[in-house]
Amino acid sequence: SKRLLQKNNELAHANKELDRFVYSVSHDLSAPLKSIMGLVNISRMEKDDAELRHYFNNIETSVHKLEAFIGEILDYSRNERQEVSLENINLTNLCQEILDNLRFQEGFDKIQISLEGIDNFSLITDKMRLKIILNNLLSNAVKFQKIIANEPPFITVTAKALATHYSIYVEDNGEGIPPEARERIFDMFFRGTPRANGSGLGLYIAREAAEKINGKLTVESVYGKGSLFHLEIKKYL
């Protein structure tokens, strides 16, 4: 029947995506591990303290990369498997929680973050998935900030509640997204710029999480000027 054929096609697509996921994940997990092993072997032969400190710093960087990537895999798994659980969420508190975890990210102390546009704002949705989305958007905004003398980097979070949906905006004046990358930034494992040394999973998971909570994640961006991400979540009326 037509329905059975559609189900088979969906299953074949899911299996293909899973194969690609497993292949890419195993590759991206083994790269930092090989780097760590190489640095451990070199440091065993090194007598100079300054060089040893340099090797240990590089090992720490690789460990943080692994940790972040494993976190994204867990987000992917949770988003795929957990039921949607609705609760009343204070958006300022959630963003503050995320920012507290990002405070050790490189460049965090240089960026001005404004949460005034979400003061006293609350919404009913799935907290785990909303946190996955906002963590990704805020982390990227910190990571891809521009370093220009007369242009202090900023991130602004605003929100509004309309009759049928909530709208949350995350705006920055960072590097922006090259036009040729804009259509693909939500694709699994896509890395938009040479500086994007992460897994390429983050925005893919963010969009998948948005869909799970009756939402839609879109972006407007001018390369060299900044980006505006818009998360629209339908109200559970």
pLDDT digits (tens, 9 = 90+) for 73-85: 788 778 888 899 9
pTM: 0.76
Beta bridge partners of 124: 88
pLDDT digits (tens, 9 = 90+) for 120-155: 999 999 999 999 999 999 999 999 898 776 789 999
Task: Compare 148 and 162 and report the one with higher pLDDT.
Answer: 162
* Highest-confidence segment of 3-17, 30-44, 180-194, 201-215: 201-215
How far apart CA 17 and CA 206 sit, in angstroms, is: 17
The answer for residues whose C-beta is within 8 angstroms of residue 93's C-beta and 6 or more apart is none
- Token pair for 175: 């590097």
In percent, how much of the chain has pLDDT > 70?
Answer: 87
- Report residue 99's pLDDT band, with 50, 70 and 90 as the boundaries: very high
- Report residue 231's pLDDT band, with 50, 70 and 90 as the boundaries: very high
